[in-house]
Chain A
Amino acid sequence: GNSVTQMEGPVTLSEEAFLTINCTYTATGYPSLFWYVQYPGEGLQLLLKATKADDKGSNKGFEATYRKETTSFHLEKGSVQVSDSAVYFCALTYGGGSYIPTFGRGTSLIVHP
């Protein structure tokens, strides 16, 4: 079946540091890939997406590139802010037959001033 693996957290950074959160996936077919963010006390919000190989999703300074050859969709940001502190979830959907969005376990990001 489909699955998503994310790096363990928490990731702790100082403000303005570079962020990478690794995500790899297993899926049949050609899934769409997503990053969601969950701020404390709130629901999951879509951060960015990519629907085919080599697509780059971007939003709010975050970027992720759909790499089919390495089955990866790593999240990056050049300069994090305290307000980026949240839990980030990598997800996929479709996957050639399984129509159910499948999520990783999440990676907590803590940004210190």
Chain B
Amino acid sequence: DTGVSQDPRHKITKRGQNVTFRCDPISEHNRLYWYRQTLGQGPEFLTYFQNEAQLEKSRLLSDRFSAERPKGSFSTLEIQRTEQGDSAMYLCASSFRADTEAFFGQGTRLTVV
């Protein structure tokens, strides 16, 4: 297993466009998390899945954000009508259980111009 992978690594988009990011977790991990990280801050929780069920969403996650994890495998995070404030690193992580460590991908850096 090569760990958690995210695609793309970098995305530059114009304000108002939609973007979609993909995350492939470690194969035996049931839990998948999305975080957002801005400069000088720690990862901020956005949402998480237990298998294919989306169990919790942060209040940070506006209606323009949606995430899916069909069949409990890979996940996608879509941002509609992007705004400059959406510019950040979007991190995906997975873990085997609630009390075990999360393994992170290298992130997708989004720049909205």
- Give the interface of A toward B (CB within 8 A): 4, 32, 34, 36, 42-46, 49, 51, 89, 93-94, 99-106
Contact = CB atoms under 8 A, between A and B. Distances in A.
A43 B23 CA distance: 14
B16 interface: no
Contacts, number: 55
Nearest to B89: A43
Nearest to B102: A101
Nearest to A34: B101
Contacts of B102: 93, 101
B40 A32 contact: no
| Residue among A42, A43, A49, A94 facing the most chain B CB atoms (10 A cut-off) | A43
B91 A43 contact: yes
Nearest to B55: A99
B55 to A, nearest CB: 8
Contact of A103 (B43, B98, B100): B43
Interface string B30-42: 0101010000111
The listed residue with most B CB atoms (<10 A of its CB), out of A93, A101, A104, is A101
B105 A43 contact: yes
Given A44-B43, A101-B102, 9 more contacts: A42-B106, A43-B91, A100-B33, A101-B33, A101-B45, A103-B42, A104-B42, A105-B41, A105-B42
